[in-house]
Amino acid sequence: MAEQQMTPQQQNAMARYNLLQTGIAMTKRLQPQIGQLGGQIRIPLQRMGIMTGVHLLVSIPVTIATFDSVSPLAPWNIAQTVTYTDFAGVNRTKTNGAQLWQAQTFKQGDALGLIPNNVSAAGGAVPAMNYDTNILNLPAANGAGTIYFSIYVPMAYDPASDLTGAVLTQTNVGEHYITVDLPNSLSGADQYKFPYGPATGVTVNGGVTIEAFQNYIQPQAMSAAFLPLVDLSTIYGFEGGYTTTANIAANQSTYVNYPNNRSILSTLIQYQNGNGFTANGADLSGITLVANSNTNFREYSPRILRELQRNMANCDMPNGSYFLTSRRQPILTQLYANVQAKMDILTAAAGSKLISQFEVQYPSGSPLPGITAGSA
């Protein structure tokens, strides 16, 4: 009897297991990169084993002359666009820093880099255990200080168990890198763009520094037994910063279209009412996941969805943020004519918009028609 050959999926599962069991998890500290407001910081990545993710530590020395207010998205919105470009020139992740932080927080089940203040059952304050002052910091008093925050850019879905999307970096062709776009200023009226309010007088002393730490697995051998080829030929990442402005008006429904030809693992939609974000979701009456324009998969009120978010993240997300997870059963958009999130608007100031982000997987080299934002 002829020996039965393994399917690609079986070979991938075996190689993934071998790699996770025998590969050495390693981290490479990269040279810090410095940039200025209004510019872009490019972080070259090295060719080292199978890359699973990159941790970015951001430091910004500032002086505050007058303090006004802070955005609920600060300080992560200073990274206006975070992009990972692979060796083939594909932007696997391209999204806003605050959106990426929120999605990673939901995925990990805890507020990354943040220790929320706690309250005891008797109503008294409990120490926040926030002894380290250079992990997350947003100065709010006049004088000199330093903004600190971090952003994790994933390549593999889960470096400890699921290597879908991991990048084989040991190639002599091309280059791969992360770019971070910075705002022109740290203060302004638009809370999505600026960390401080418009009346805050803040200057940067010396530039924005980003130090990257590249995580990778070093295989025992570059052979099929240790290379999960399906994982390595699948793209995993976050596509965000997509803006919908059409048909946003009081007492009207507006639709956010999902991208085609993707497996959608999660969706984050932010409703920016004018320049700001409304507490308690008071400017929306409902959020509905719709397929083919007539099948309602999920129906939520802002209150229940934000409570579900609190339970997932162990904290409250910034005002105006709505997260829909589909990791247990990803939404395969190629199976439907269209998939949309219907946002029922109660109030809308001038310039209001919906800003969306999608956590996606798709085969490398597949046609990607992109995203169209509009109404049904």
Q: What is the pLDDT of residue 126?
A: 55
Residues 328-356 have pLDDT tens digits of 889 888 887 789 999 999 999 999 999 99
Secondary-structure class of domain 8-123+133-232 per CATH? mainly beta
Q: What is the pLDDT of residue 134?
A: 86
Averaged pLDDT of the chain? 90
Beta carbons of 320 and 278 less than 8 angstroms apart: yes
pLDDT digits (tens, 9 = 90+) for 119-145: 555 555 555 666 788 888 999 999 999
Tens digits of residue pLDDT in 263-298: 999 999 999 999 999 999 999 999 999 998 888 999
Say whether the peptide bond before residue 302 is cis (omega within 30 degrees of 0). Answer: no
Domains of the chain, by residue range, sit at: 8-123+133-232, 245-363
State the pLDDT confidence band at 110, using cuts at 50, 70 and 90. Answer: confident
What are 1's two structure tokens? 């009897």
pLDDT at 369: 42
Q: Tell me, what's the pLDDT at 337?
A: 72
Helix, strand or coil, per DSSP, at residue 12: helix
Which 8-state DSSP code applies to residue 86?
-
The answer on pLDDT for 48 being more than 80 is yes
d(CA 83, CA 120): 41
**Bridge partners of residue 66, in order along the sequence:** 201
DSSP letter, residue 76: G
Is the confidence at residue 27, as pLDDT, over 50? yes
What is the end-to-end Cα distance of the chain in Å, rounded? Answer: 57
CB neighbour list of residue 54: distance below 8 Å, 6 or more residues apart? 43, 45, 84, 152, 153, 155, 178, 212, 213, 214, 215
Question: What are the backbone dihedrals phi and psi of residue 95, each rounded to the nearest 5 degrees, phi first?
Answer: -160, 175
Reference 182, options 225, 151, 157, 137; nearest CA is 151
**Residue range 245-363, CATH number:** 2.60.120.20
Give tens-digit pLDDT for 147-165. 999 999 999 999 999 999 9
